[in-house]
Amino acid sequence: MNWSAFKTYGALTLVSLLYGINYSVLKVIIPEYVGAFGFIVFRVTIASGIFWMFYFFVREKIDWKNDGWRLVLCAATGIAINQLLFYKGISYTSAVNGSIIMTLTPVLVLIWAAILTGEKITRRKILGIAIGLIGALLIIYQPNSLKSSGDWRGDILVFINGTSYACYLVIVKPLMKKYKPMTVVTWIFTIAIVIVIPVGIHEAIVVQFNQLPSKIWYGTFYAIIGVTVIVYFLNVWTLVKVDSSVVGAFIYLQPIFATLTAILFFEEVFLLKHLLAAVFVFWGVWLVTKKSAEPRP
């Protein structure tokens, strides 16, 4: 593996680690202290401000006539819909459930690529999609006799969030061929503010900041700096190096990091159905993304 590949795959592994820990961090913050939608207002607006400080040194112009619509779609699918549904979903379901469901993202990326770019879906990939979906259904299904910290409503919201994020990974790719990563991520976060504020402003303004314990401030700092600023920048940076499907494939690591964090620090229970679901999901996404390319230098 050359140095370029090492840096790219290292960045994607770091993204998965930060995301994996985030599942449990959010269970502490939401909804006990801050509403899910209100938290997204803080997350998106503060992250946007941070990105603008860096973008000041880039000052790259956007071709709004040709690329404005794509930036709006990226803001909606990759930031607004993605984050609103994910945070709301994770407030209902467990960290383990959410992380395993998100491993379907590579499969969803393939489906969106076929719809939007005409990428051919082979029989092997169709089989992978079917097997991966079986894994997702295993997570969502909960007979009355089975006790779990998950909730099917949250599972559904996390799945829709994954679908939206997969679409984003496909439609943002052409922008990465024209602009610098900081330019793209700054503008999509800025546009997303317009979408998330009407949804979450009520929950945001009722937060009693003077009553928040220190762990909430630490968790919020982690979610904004680690899982927003660092993760989104690394994701768009790696999209310059590898295909969308490769970026999505590294989501396979998230359940490992998320499960270890949830069990070691937050006393969540890992059930047999989680293991079975993970086997189906990993098997399915392996079939879908079996062939991948080395990062471009």
In a domain, 10, yes or no: no
When divided into structural domains, the chain yields a total of: 1
140 confidence band (pLDDT: 50, 70, 90):
low
Region 11-24: mean pLDDT is: 84
> Residue 64 pLDDT more than 80?
yes
Question: Residue 234: what residue type?
Answer: L
Residue from 35, 80, 89 nearest 195 by CA: 80
95 confidence band (pLDDT: 50, 70, 90):
low
> Residue 61 pLDDT more than 50?
yes
Task: Indicate the pTM of the whole model.
Answer: 0.77
144-165 pLDDT per residue, tens: 544 445 567 888 898 999 899 8
Sign, CA torsion 186/192/198/203: negative
Give all strands (DSSP E) within the chain, no chain letters.
none
Q: What are phi and psi of 11, to 5 degrees?
A: -65, -40
Token couple for 185: 């991520």
In a domain, 295, yes or no: no
In a domain, 48, yes or no: yes
In a domain, 58, yes or no: no
198-236 pLDDT per residue, tens: 999 999 999 888 888 888 888 889 989 998 899 989 988
> Residue 295 pLDDT more than 70?
no
143 confidence band (pLDDT: 50, 70, 90):
low
| pLDDT of amino acid 132 | 75
| pLDDT of amino acid 146 | 43
Q: 149 or 5: which carries more pLDDT confidence? A: 5
Residue from 246, 234, 251 nearest 86 by CA: 251
> Residue 91 pLDDT more than 90?
no
> Residue 270 pLDDT more than 50?
yes
**Of 30-39, 136-145, 207-216, 234-243, which gets the smallest average pLDDT?**
136-145
CA 278 to CA 294: how far, in whole Å? 26
For residue 238, what are the domain limits?
Answer: 20-53+63-288
Query: Which residues are CB-neighbours of 285 under 8 A, at least 6 positions away?
Result: 103, 104, 106, 107, 128, 132, 249, 252
In a domain, 5, yes or no: no
CA 95 to CA 27: how far, in whole Å? 7
Please tell me whether the peptide bond between 106 and the residue prior to it is cis, using omega within 30 degrees of 0: no
**Of 121-135, 139-153, 192-206, 246-260, which gets the smallest average pLDDT?**
139-153
Asked if residue 248 lies in contact with residue 169, where contact means CB atoms within 8 angstroms, the answer is: yes
The percentage of residues in the chain with a pLDDT greater than 90, rounded to a whole number, is 28
Region 12-36: mean pLDDT is: 78
In a domain, 233, yes or no: yes
Residue from 78, 89, 80 nearest 31 by CA: 89
List the helix and strand counts (H, then E) for the chain. Answer: 15, 0
